[in-house]
Amino acid sequence: MFPPLPNPDVSAQKPPLFGEQDLVRRSASRVPAPARQLTPVAKLIDVSKCIGCKACQAACLEWNDLREKVGVNRGVLDNPDDLTPDSLTVMRFTEWINPSTDTLEWLIRKDGCMHCAEPGCLEACPAPGAIVQYSNGIVDFIHENCIGCGYCIKGCPFNIPRISRVDNTAYKCTLCSDRIAVGQGPACQKACPTQAIVFGTKDEMKAWADLRIKDLKSRGFDKAGLYDPPGVSGTHVMYVLHHADQPHIYAGLPDNPRISPLVRAWKGAGKYAGLGLIALSVVAGVIHHLVQGPNRVTRHDEEEAERLAGDKP
Amino acid sequence: MTDRTHDDIPEAHVRVPRYSGSARVNHWIVAISFILLGLSGLALFHPSLFGLTVLFGGGQNARWLHPWLGIVLVVAFFGLFVRFVSQNLPERTDITWLARLRYALSAGGEDYLPEVGKYNAGQKFVFWSQTLLILVLLGSGLCLWQQGQDYLERTLGIHVSIETMRWAAVIHATAAVLTIIVFVIHVYSAIWVRGTIDAMTSGTVTGGWGWRHHRRWLRRKVREGDVDVEHSKGASGS
């Protein structure tokens, strides 16, 4: 068992462990390099240990004070059937027939924000300060700066953010940044009865994952492995998968997630090229006017027009 | 600095109606919505321009206004399209005009150009490129309209995938840059060719303007008797 985090010391109010001074990225703006580097944190979700109880979903709603609407059953256990602005995490159930053994495997993956080291949402966001990244790896949405454009949805390689129809801002898992700031683990982790979700420093989580993977391999899952995709420079929510060679079987977990080249083109060099072309067209007009001078109608033109008009009764 | 003598702005005794009142109102609705779309769009186009959102009362307002302004523009532009399309059909002389573009771009070069009707090939280029670009902006814009997605899916059954949205974002931004450049060309031409803006403010141009820039159109207007000739100073303005 991974040693659980102790309960908080409630005897005295302490300042948060991190804050605005620890930002390494801020959407559509720059931040000064932080004075210190926080220890990167991570949440490890061991898919092989998950029993699908949805305690994590309940804990998430509870801690974040969110209430999901009564939905519709679509014949599967997923409830709700997708992430919503209120359900920041959702268990995705997949019935998968393993072709090598011809047995049914029930794959359960807790979906939610992966807290990418290279966040596509942040890259795409046009609103200064609406998405921030702390040096401990947490990617957070700052709702007062969010304008609800939905660009984060286009930027995210995992299809995570959802726009609320109530306040028109984007929502996703915060990794319980407010809990971590006071030395606690995320609510989902706290509620998990099987330690399928554990939380600690990223190094601890990788080491813990190694033990789990060794265990799984000894049980015949020789393709077991850690999902910490390099395409987004790693994530601060990682999975232990028993079939790490094919992440897509887990309800479409991307095999090789990365920020789409379309998003890169749209938010990168394309912007400067576009603004440059617009500026160039204005400059061309100014130069043309300086060289040519105004194109004025002459007295001769008016006289010709008068003659023409006068010809006709 | 040139002195604005009578030689600069010759007296005009002939005025030719160019745009009706409703066409002008229509044009200015398109113009104003275009400018507001440009400002709100550029605000989201690059972080350095995000400050433009203050003109709309903040980012949230700019974000929701932009698509609705787009709808206003599309409807109003459709009006302009219907009004002007018949005068913007390509003709043989357009090729000659374009081949002699360097004369068209120099003051006094008109003598080397074929006589043009209501619109020259450059104006037709503006008309057709804006028509095309607005259609592209409409299609890609609908895909990007986050708050409109539910509506699209519920009423039209159109589900826009995230990959489609990404394409739409690239296409929308590209078309927006192009449409702004065409807008710059349009505005600059109206400024450079003196006397043009009158057509969209008072609705008329001088006979000399018609003679110099749209001689075939002027001949037609004269034939139709659709010109105002001021015979004597005393009789005018009544």
Protein fold of A20-266: Alpha-Beta Plaits (3.30.70)
Helix (H) or strand (E) holding A261: helix A261-267
Task: Tell me if residue B186 is catalytic.
Answer: yes
Residues 155-184 of B with CB under 8 A from A: 162-163, 165-167, 169-170, 173-174, 176-177, 180-181, 184
Q: What is the pLDDT of residue B231?
A: 66
| Residue A272 CB neighbours (<10 A) | 10
Enumerate the domain spans of chain A: 20-266, 270-311
Residue owning tokens 């420079």: A233
pLDDT at B232 over 50: no
Tokens of A45: 């979700």
Domain assignment of residue B5, yes or no: no
CATH of the domain at B133: 1.20.950.20
Residue owning tokens 């942040």: A122
Domain assignment of residue B1, yes or no: no
Residue owning tokens 């450079």: B192
Domain assignment of residue B7, yes or no: no
User: How many residues are listed for chain B in this entry?
Assistant: 238
pLDDT in tens, A153-196: 999 999 999 999 999 999 999 999 999 998 899 999 999 999 99
In angstroms, rounded to a whole number, what is the distance separating the alpha carbons of residues A296 and B122? 18
Q: In chain A, which residues have their Cβ closer than 8 Å to the Cβ of B186? A: none
In angstroms, rounded to a whole number, what is the distance separating the alpha carbons of residues A117 and A275? 29
Domain assignment of residue B133, yes or no: yes
* Interface contact flag, B209 A126, Cβ < 8 Å: no
Cβ(A100)–Cβ(A4) below 8 Å: no
What are residue A199's DSSP bridge partners? A43
pLDDT at B223 over 60: yes
In angstroms, rounded to a whole number, what is the distance separating the alpha carbons of residues A162 and A204? 31
Domain assignment of residue B113, yes or no: yes
Catalytic residue (choose from B186, B213, B214, B231) = B186
pLDDT at B234 over 90: no
In angstroms, rounded to a whole number, what is the distance separating the alpha carbons of residues A302 and A279? 36
% of chain A exceeding 70 in pLDDT: 99
pLDDT at A51 over 90: yes
Q: What is the pLDDT of residue B8?
A: 61
In angstroms, rounded to a whole number, what is the distance separating the alpha carbons of residues B169 and A150? 11
pLDDT at B202 over 60: yes
pLDDT in tens, A58-98: 999 999 999 999 988 888 899 999 999 999 999 999 999 99
Closest-CA distance of chain B to residue A281, Å: 6
Tokens of A89: 């995490």
Number of domains in chain B: 1
- The conformational region for residue B225 under phi > 0 = left, psi -120 to 50 = alpha, else beta, is left
Cβ(A38)–Cβ(A232) below 8 Å: no
* Interface contact flag, A151 B169, Cβ < 8 Å: yes
Where in the sequence is the domain holding B31, given as residue range(s)?
A: 14-232
| Residue B141 CB neighbours (<10 A) | 23
Q: What is the residue-averaged pLDDT of chain B?
A: 92
pLDDT at B1 over 80: no
Q: Is B45 on the interface with A (CB under 8 A)?
A: yes
Q: What is the pLDDT of residue B235?
A: 41
* Local structure of residue A147 (DSSP, 8 states): -
pLDDT in tens, A200-234: 999 999 999 999 999 999 999 999 999 999 999 99
Distance (Å) of CA B108 to CA B1, B6, B100, B140, B157: 20, 18, 13, 42, 56
Residue B82 makes CB contacts below 8 A (sequence gap 6+) with none
pLDDT at B29 over 80: yes
pLDDT in tens, B133-192: 999 999 999 999 988 888 888 888 888 999 999 999 999 999 999 999 999 999 999 999
AA identity, residue B234: G
In angstroms, rounded to a whole number, what is the distance separating the alpha carbons of residues B111 and B60? 53
Helix (H) or strand (E) holding B125: helix B121-144
pLDDT in tens, B61-106: 999 999 999 999 999 999 999 999 999 999 999 999 999 999 999 9
Compute the radius of gyration of chain A from its Cα atoms.
Answer: 27
In angstroms, rounded to a whole number, what is the distance separating the alpha carbons of residues B124 and B129? 8
In angstroms, rounded to a whole number, what is the distance separating the alpha carbons of residues B175 and B154? 28
Domain assignment of residue B2, yes or no: no
In angstroms, rounded to a whole number, what is the distance separating the alpha carbons of residues A107 and A94? 5
Q: What is the pLDDT of residue B233?
A: 46
Tokens of B139: 């299609």
pLDDT in tens, A65-74: 999 999 888 8
Q: What is the pLDDT of residue B224?
A: 95
